[in-house]
Amino acid sequence: MDTPADPELNDQMGGELTALRSVVREPMDHVECFPAPPSCRRVTFTTDEVTSMCPVTGQPDWSTVAITYEPDQRCVESKSLKLFLWSFRDQQIFAEALAAAIAAEIHRAAGPHRTTVVVTQHVRGGIVTEATAELP
């Protein structure tokens, strides 16, 4: 296991950043968080590297995901988010359910004031699907 880039910071957080302080070679089923800076009002993550599988055909789906949340006490750590998104790679899931699942995990882990997740499934069969999940 690698040591954390900032061991003191990890100690301040009770050792909660397990993904950040180790070499991880597999998906994670959750995201990890750290204390939000007092002046942080909005955080946005965007990636176009999310894959899943169509629940009907089993074909691969490629999606762009934009996650925006308004932190309360905690912020989402990005490496754990990347590993969490990787967990959908072999899951058969509709774009709408994918957006809802990501929003639910962000909301569960970080407890933000508001969470919005937009999943834009790339063209397949000439159709682009965009699904938005919002949690207060």
Q: What is the pLDDT along the chain (136 residues), one digit of tens a residue?
A: 344 455 565 555 545 677 666 777 789 999 999 999 999 999 999 999 999 999 999 999 999 999 999 999 999 999 999 999 999 999 999 999 999 999 999 999 999 999 999 999 998 888 999 999 999 9
Fold of the CATH domain 27-135 = GTP Cyclohydrolase I, domain 2 (3.30.1130)
Helix orientation angle between 78-86 and 95-110, rounded to the nearest 10 degrees = 150
Structure tokens at 83: 């590993």
- The answer to whether residue 54 is catalytic is yes
The reported pTM is 0.86
pLDDT for 21 equals 67
Catalytic residue, chosen from 2, 6, 33, 54, is 54
Q: Round to whole Å and give the CA distance between 74 and 1.
A: 25
H or E element at residue 104: helix 95-110
Instruction: Report CA dihedral (121, 122, 124, 128) to the nearest 10 degrees.
Output: 70
pLDDT for 4 equals 46
Structure tokens at 5: 């880039």
Catalytic residue, chosen from 61, 72, 75, 90, is 61
- The answer to whether residue 33 is catalytic is no
